[in-house]
Amino acid sequence: MNQAYENIIERRSCKSYKEQRVPKDVLEKIVAAGQMAPSGMNRQAYAFVVVQDKKMMDTISKLNASIMQADTDPFYHADCVIIVFGKKDVRTHVYDGSLAMENLMLAANSLGVSSCWIHRAKEVFETEEGKELLKKWDLEEYEGIGNCILGYSDGEIAPRKPRTSKSFGSKDMRVGQAVDIHQLCNGRDLILGGVKIEHEKGLLGHSDADVLTHAIMESVLGALALGDLGKHFPDTDPKYKGVSSMILLEHVYHLMDEKGYKIGNIDSTILAEKPKMASHIQKMRENIASILHCNVDKISIKATRGEKLGFVGNEEGILSMAVCLLEEK
């Protein structure tokens, strides 16, 4: 395993320390690592105060304890604390100081020194006693970012807890888009999104010609690089004659599931001069979401008119468009 990566993975916070000094040369190396932390526009708007004197350690520890209204030592009797400050007039000072804190802890771990980030540095140096210390250290333009306590562990450090934060970058995401068009004709039912809509005309097709569901299916197939609808449901196959597109959508769902993906979201549009769609859209969303095993809020369906233009505006056909985002499960 790469040594730097291993150092990151193995570092733990320590809350029990031996009465053993951290050598000066080791502290200098740790501080040097902190100074090498990246910063916004390379302004390096951080400062470090190394406190190893017991009297000063006790003073800062008591100030910290008073903030948290406790009578215990928040520094866990560590040998040393490196206080990281950020220059207040630099917008990135909190981020810069936080990166410096991480460098300190990682450098300490690589040198066999245990560490822990102790909070409330900002609050401590907003007290009157804290302001006096800032004045003494010529850091009146700075505020506390964090306390990095250092020392040698007194016993075994607790094992790493499972990580609970979500990781999006490590999972694959895919986008698909599709357009589907069907001709309006007499003697057919008008079905969109699995909803039968009263209208004098329906859509012509080998299946039920649900143009909205077809666009959604093909967008999912496209995202999976599995070809188009014709490849999976050819109009020459009699078993698909008059079949509900909801059944076909279920088949597409299983293809997606087998590939290890789920719906991130779908955004679709129906272009139809007539009839009005508003009262049917919620049911369409529910039908699609049910079969794709996702929440309704992941399915968007909109409708617009052709404004008397083109085949949509002249009521010759209906067009649907869909874009989908698939996420790796």
Say how far apart CA 313 and CA 310 lie, in whole Å.
5
Q: Check: CB of residue 43 under 8 Å from CB of residue 191.
A: no
Stretch among 79-83, 158-162, 216-220, 267-271 having the lowest mean pLDDT? 158-162
Q: Check: CB of residue 193 under 8 Å from CB of residue 245.
A: no
Residues 179 and 136 reside in one and the same domain: no
> Three-state DSSP class for 282?
helix
pLDDT for 226-265, tens place per residue?
999 889 998 888 888 989 999 999 999 999 999 999 999 9
Q: What is the pTM of this model?
A: 0.56
Q: Residue holding tokens 């206080």?
A: 83
Residue 92: pLDDT band with limits 50, 70, 90: very high
CATH number of domain containing 308: 3.30.1330.50
CATH number of domain containing 145: 3.40.109.10
Question: Do strands 299-304 and 261-271 pair parallel, antiparallel, or not at all (unpaired)?
Answer: parallel
Domain boundary, last residue among 151, 183, 214: 151
> Three-state DSSP class for 314?
coil
Let me know if residue 167 belongs to a domain.
Answer: no
Give the tokens for residue 100: 């410096």
Phi, psi torsion values for 23, nearest 5 degrees: -60, 150
Residues 194 and 58 reside in one and the same domain: no
Mean per-residue pLDDT over the chain, rounded = 93
The one-letter amino acid at 250? E
Residues 10 and 145 reside in one and the same domain: yes
Let me know if residue 281 belongs to a domain.
Answer: yes
Let me know if residue 211 belongs to a domain.
Answer: yes
Q: Is 30 exposed, middle or buried (0-12, 13-18, 19+ CB in 10 A)?
A: buried
pLDDT of 132: 97
Residues 262 and 128 reside in one and the same domain: no
Percent of the chain with pLDDT over 70: 98
The one-letter amino acid at 59? T
pLDDT for 40-79, tens place per residue?
999 999 999 999 999 999 999 999 999 999 989 999 999 9
Residues 146 and 183 reside in one and the same domain: no
Give the tokens for residue 236: 């020459």
Q: Check: CB of residue 81 under 8 Å from CB of residue 31.
A: no
Let me know if residue 269 belongs to a domain.
Answer: yes
Residue 218 has pLDDT above 90, yes or no: yes
Residues 108 and 195 reside in one and the same domain: no
DSSP 8-state assignment for residue 295: -
Residues 136 and 215 reside in one and the same domain: no
Residue 168: pLDDT band with limits 50, 70, 90: low
Give the tokens for residue 53: 């004197």
Residues 183 and 250 reside in one and the same domain: yes
Residues 184 and 290 reside in one and the same domain: yes
> Three-state DSSP class for 100?
helix
Let me know if residue 266 belongs to a domain.
Answer: yes
Let me know if residue 164 belongs to a domain.
Answer: no
DSSP 8-state assignment for residue 166: -
Residues 206 and 318 reside in one and the same domain: yes
Let me know if residue 292 belongs to a domain.
Answer: yes
Residues 185 and 248 reside in one and the same domain: yes
Residue 162 has pLDDT above 90, yes or no: no
pLDDT for 4-41, tens place per residue?
999 999 999 999 999 999 999 999 999 999 999 999 99
How many structural domains compose the chain?
2
Stretch among 83-92, 208-217, 229-238, 262-271 having the lowest mean pLDDT? 229-238
Residues 202 and 123 reside in one and the same domain: no
Which structural domain, as residue segments, surrounds residue 31? 3-151
Q: Check: CB of residue 150 under 8 Å from CB of residue 77.
A: no
pLDDT of 160: 77
- Rg of the chain on CA atoms, in Å: 32
Let me know if residue 158 belongs to a domain.
Answer: no
